[in-house]
Every structure is written in C-alpha cells, then in structure tokens.
Homo-oligomer: A and B are copies of this chain.
Amino acid sequence: MKKILNDVHGAVNDMLHGFNFEYKAIIGYDRENDIIYRKNLSELEEVVLISGGGSGHEPAHFGYVGEGMLSMAVCGQIFMPPKPEQIAAAIRMVDKGKSILLIIKNFQADIDSFLAAEAVMKQEGWMVDHVIVNDDVSVEDDHSFKKRRRGVAGTVLVHKILGAAAMDGYTLPQLKALGEVVISKLHTLGVALSPANNPASQEEPFMLGDDEVFYGIGIHGEGGYRKEVFHSSEMLAIELMNKLKSLYRWKKGEAFAVLVNGLGAVPLMEQYVFANDIRRLCELEGLDIRFVKVGSQLTSLDMKGISLSLLKIEDPMWEKWLQRDVKTASWK
C-alpha cells in the first residue's frame, strides 16, 4: 500500500510541521511534545479546552484548534494516544489562574494517559477536569447487545459546543456538566467499505469482500457487528437510521443535529449523496433538523467508509453554539 510518507516513525512529526507551515500565523507547534496550540494563549477564555489522541484521525484534533473550539491538541503516534508527559506539558503551558477541561475519546489507553496527566497536574496546582466522549453505539456483535461506546466522530460536535460555551464564560463545572449532557444525547454509527491501512502496524486489517460493507466498525481498524453485500447509499442510510431510531425512540418534530463524517478515503460526492439519503429519511420521520455538517472530520487513515452521528438538541443554545463562527483550520 503506497502512502505519501517518508519514514513512518516520523510521519506525525512531519505532518504537524506541514500543518504548522500552513497556519503558522495563528497556530504554534511544540515539536518536543507534538502539541498544536493557539498562539494567543494568554488571551484564552477562563477555561482552556484540550483534546487529542492518536494520530491518523485528521483533521481531528488539531484542525479544531482555534478561537471558539480547542485551545490545544496533543497528538500521539498513529492510533496511539499521547503519553501522559505530553498532556502534562500541554497543561503546563496554561496560566495557573485558568482552569482546564480535557476532552477524551472513550478508549482505555486514551483515558489512562489523560487521567494520569490530570492527576499529576492537579497535584502541581492546576485546576483540571475532563469529559469522556462515548458516542459510538454500534453493538459488540450480532449476538450481543452490549454497546461499544467508543469515542468517535461525534467528539467534534462536543469540541464545538463546549468551545462556544467556554467563550460565553462557562466555568469548569458548568462545562463538564454541559459536556456530559451533550454526550448523553449524541450517538454515532459507522460503516466501512474498506479497512484502514496502518503503516505503523504489521497487523492485518479486517477482511472484507469486494462487494461487502461492514457495519459498526471502529476508527482504529476494529471490525464491526455485521457484514453485508453492499447495495446502495440508501440502504446504508436506512440501516444506520433504523439503529439510531431504536435508541432515540424519537417523536415527530424533535430537534436534531446531523453529522455525516467521511472516514478518510471517501470522496465528498459520496458523502453528500449519503447525506441526501439521510435528509430524506429525516423528512419521512418528521425530524426537525436544525444543523447539518458533512465532511471528513474524524477519520481513520485511508479507510473507505462513513459514519452518521445524531445529536438530540435539548437546548436551543446547542444549536446556536454549533452554528457560531470559529477560526480553526477544519471546522468550516
């Protein structure tokens, strides 16, 4: 599998350099700890939002650093969370007079790293708390109804809402509480047409026939809950909407936000065709769609696939916060 890389072990470093080349006017890059940060750190809101995780999910998370969203993204190696020392170094860049909210995707290795850093930095006198995003509602396998609850594409909506609320002066406890409510109303399901090819791993990706799709895949090459022959965008949309309907048990007229996320190698044409099928299904269900975002926001290297996130909008402010303009590379 050809990849436009040099030494694979230097890929994250090369990538972050390249990103800094594009945005050096507004973004800083700490090479030692692979941290992308807003340059005007001293002008930040009272609560500083820090996220991050393994690389290979671009533009997440560094593309969401900027006014109105994240203040920093701490970048691990490909599909590996950042080390606690990297996260601690990010926290150390923040004035002790401010407080810090960590936004963590629900993978054990990510939680271990972020919470280890949180514990150390609290001891050193920083005010730190966290939320854990667990929007993935795909099931473990056909015979189990255990949800996986990984943190996937919906995380970007959490960045957006909390980033806007932080601008509005929300305190750390308020942001944590808001994050937890939003996350409880946020569900995502993904489907793959091809696996991700991880250049840093010798492991074989999952197998998928030329005519098959795999429902419920993860963002690190994890397999899904069911393989099926691929028919059309509409059939994918129906499967994902039906699963989400059974979770939300929505009623006509309820307000939702929609995120259609390309998983890395899906052209925008296909993402928009799928979004159009979601539009039609939402109309049939009588849902009141208040916000829509389509694009490759949180990816899995070169996986061909798509995910659908829905957020039940419980508070009209959520819609306003989603719509507010921001100054980041990747939230348009």
Contact = CB atoms under 8 A, between A and B. Distances in A.
Interface of A: 2-6, 11, 14-19, 21-22, 55-56, 58-59, 63, 193-194, 210-211, 213, 230, 232-234, 236, 264-279, 289, 292-294, 296, 299, 301-302, 304, 306, 328-330, 332
Given A14-B273, A59-B268, A4 B236 contact: yes
A273 B4 contact: yes
Contacts of A279: 17-18, 21
Given A11-B273, A14-B276, A276-B14, A299 B6 contact: no
Nearest to A289: B21
Contacts of A278: 21
Nearest to A25: B323
Q: How many copies does the complex hold?
A: 2
Given A3-B270, A301-B269, A18 B55 contact: no
16 contacts: A2-B193, A4-B271, A5-B269, A6-B232, A6-B233, A15-B269, A18-B272, A18-B294, A19-B294, A21-B292, A22-B272, A55-B269, A58-B269, A59-B268, A265-B267, A266-B302
Contacts of A274: 4, 18
A283 to B, nearest CB: 10
B58 A4 contact: no
Contacts of A264: 267
A18 B273 contact: yes
Nearest to A212: B2
Contact of A22 (B15, B56, B293, B330): B293
A275 B22 contact: yes
A268 B6 contact: no
B230 A2 contact: yes
Contacts of A55: 269
A332 B65 CA distance: 13
Nearest to A3: B270
Among A58, A211, A332, which residue has the most Cβ atoms of chain B within 10 A? Answer: A332
Contacts of A275: 18-19, 21-22
Contacts of A301: 267, 269
Contact of A5 (B14, B233, B296): B233
A302 B266 CA distance: 7
A21 B257 CA distance: 12
A279 B272 CA distance: 33
Contact of A233 (B4, B210, B268): B4
B302 A18 contact: no
Contacts of A292: 21-22
Among A14, A63, A278, A293, which residue has the most Cβ atoms of chain B within 10 A? Answer: A14
A2 B211 contact: yes
Given A22-B292, A294-B22, A58 B272 contact: yes
Contacts of A213: 2
A276 B23 CA distance: 12
B299 A267 contact: yes
A203 B131 CA distance: 51
